[in-house]
Amino acid sequence: MADQKHLSSRAWAELLLLGLIWGASFVSIRIALDTIPVMTSVLHRVFWAMLVLWLVVRFQRLEVPRDPRIWLAFLVMGLLNNAIPFTLMAWGQLYIETGLTSILNAMTAIFGVITAAIFFSDERLTRARAIGVGLGFLGVATAIGLRNFTSFDLQSMAQLAIIAGTISYALAGAWARVTLSQLSPVVAAAGMLTGSTVLILPITLMVDGIPTLVLPPITWAAIAFYALAATAGAYLLYYRILAMAGAGNLMLVTLIIPPVAIVLGTVMRDEALPPHAYIGFAILAFGLLILNRSGPRD
């Protein structure tokens, strides 16, 4: 088992940039939701990002898969990695703060470790990983607050929706490893977004009707950011960092995202989180650092 890759200055810079982009995406999504319904916001996200990534595939002259089994894998990946989590998290953001959404979103890494341990023999749950996972759950429970475990309202449902979205992300990671690892990352991302667009379009038409393009400039700016920068651009940046720094170091981006989202939520949305949310994030962050030091190794 090789040592974990070293984070160069360039890798650190790009990791910080990715954290800033994804942290800001939570606020941009919430801004768009002031004007457009949930499903329409998700359709904008996957559709425009899909177009950009296929243009990149075309520009780089990458081979487009023709095997129907691969396109079926794209469809499942689009469901698990886009359609389900994007929808659940956008809906959840209607009822809880942007910063809290980003904190709960960090559970993706925790569930990713659990999912890998269940499905892959080379990803067993070591003692260190088990401690990291345990701290992750403790951190999220603290961030949610004990009071919310005794009541069940829209806020509680929103928090559960966010957590369900992180489980879907984790399952998507396992699915991608089994079915899409042999493909170019750009082609895999474009195919995945195509699958999610195919799934989300008819649902959006049934639930929201035909989306209008007559939207306020701030809404279009928000859509442009979370679709082009935080989805299409972030996928390209993600895979660049993965190649440079490895999966273990890439996990550190989950520590950058919440502070960015919390600050922007405070400045742009006048949101305020209770003290237990910050304590919960600190515990969760400690768990993520333990996971980062214990693996995966590259």
Considering only residues 35 and 288, tell me which one the structure prediction assigns the higher pLDDT: 35
Considering only 113-127, 179-193, 198-212, which range has the smallest mean pLDDT? 113-127
Mean pLDDT along residues 185-206: 96
Would you say residue 4 has pLDDT above 70?
A: no
31: in domain:
yes
Which pLDDT score, from 0 to 100, does residue 297 have?
Answer: 45
In a domain, 102, yes or no: yes
State percent of the chain over pLDDT 70.
94
User: Helices (H), strands (E): how many in the chain?
Assistant: 14, 0
Q: Give whole-number Cα distances, 156 to 79, 96, 97, 167, in Å.
A: 24, 9, 12, 17
pLDDT tens digits, one per residue of 101-129: 999 998 998 898 889 889 888 778 888 88
Residue 73 in domain: yes
| Range 5-27 average pLDDT | 87
Q: Can you give the pLDDT at residue 128? A: 86
Q: What does R_g of the chain's alpha carbons equal in angstroms?
A: 19
Residue 94 half-sphere exposure, CB side, CA atoms within 13 Å? 16
Q: How many domains does the chain have?
A: 1
Q: How far is CA 198 from CA 83, 225, 229, 287, in A?
A: 10, 22, 21, 37
pLDDT score, position 2 = 44
Query: At 83, is the pLDDT very low, low, confident or very high (cuts 50, 70, 90)?
Result: very high
Look at residue 3 and tell me if it is in a domain. Answer: no
> By percentage, how much of the chain surpasses pLDDT 90?
61
180 close to 239: Cβ distance less than 8 angstroms: no
Report whether pLDDT(55) > 70: yes
Q: Note the pLDDT of residue 3.
A: 45
pLDDT for 198 = 97
> Among 1-5, 91-95, 229-233, where is mean pLDDT lowest?
1-5
Residue-range definition of the domain harbouring residue 74: 9-294
pLDDT at 21 over 90: yes
Q: Please report whether residue 280 resides in a domain.
A: yes
Q: Is the residue at 67 inside a domain?
A: yes
Query: Is the predicted pLDDT of residue 32 greater than 80, yes or no?
Result: yes
Structure tokens at 88: 């659940």
Asked, for residue 2, whether it belongs to a domain, the answer is: no
Cα–Cα distance measured from residue 258 to residue 192, given in angstroms and rounded to the nearest whole number? 26
- Looking at every residue in the chain, the average pLDDT score rounds to 89
**Does any domain span residue 1?**
no
Report residue 189 as tokens.
Answer: 């991302």
* CA distance linking residue 274 with residue 268, whole number of Å: 18
Q: What is the pLDDT confidence band of residue 67, given thresholds at 50, 70 and 90?
A: very high
* Two tokens, residue 60: 């780089």
- Per the CB < 8 A criterion, the answer to whether 275 and 99 are in contact is no
Does the pLDDT value for residue 35 go beyond 70? yes
